A = this chain, B = another copy of it.
Amino acid sequence: MTDCPLCRPDKETALWSDTRCRVILVDDPDYAGFCRVIWQQHVKEMTDLTETDRGHFMAVVFAVEQALRESMHPDKINLASLGNQVPHLHWHVIPRFADDAHFPDPVWAMRKRDHRMIRTDRILLAEQLKRRLGELRQRKTGR
């Protein structure tokens, strides 16, 4: 698919990557810390991957969850693989807070309130997440 936006990375804030997947920090004014884990190849469903690739993909998703919990201490983590609009495998990893724009509803529901007044330093957060993801994945692979 030549018109798939996830096949052609553009202005992404990359946090971590390998040959199989990449982690980016989404630029969403409502959701600081919203990360996306994107499979590098254009594949539609998790069950289209081999079991090994699926395991690797999920291990990276859970490393992102771990890094976000340590950096931001959210009230809840939301994980979702939808892809109805862009059928190229990607996981949303979203730290949720009781006073965020939609809590306790999903971020795709009607907005409940304005976003939080406390601003997160995006550059600092990206650096923290990069470092922690690097450590978590290094510990995993022993490299």
Contacts and interface: CB of A to CB of B under 8 A. Distances in A.
Nearest to A103: B84
Contacts of A76: 44-45, 82-84, 87
Interface stretch (A33-41, A105-113, A126-134): A105-113
Interface string A68-108: 01000001111111111101000000001000000111101
A104 B78 contact: no
B85 A104 contact: yes
A66 interface: yes
A75 B84 CA distance: 8
The residue in A45, A75, A85 that gathers the most chain B C-beta atoms within 10 A of its C-beta is: A45
Nearest to A102: B84
B78 A96 contact: no
Interface in A55-72: 55, 58, 62, 65-66, 69
Contacts of A4: none
A7 interface: no
A20 interface: no
A46 interface: yes
Contacts of A103: 84
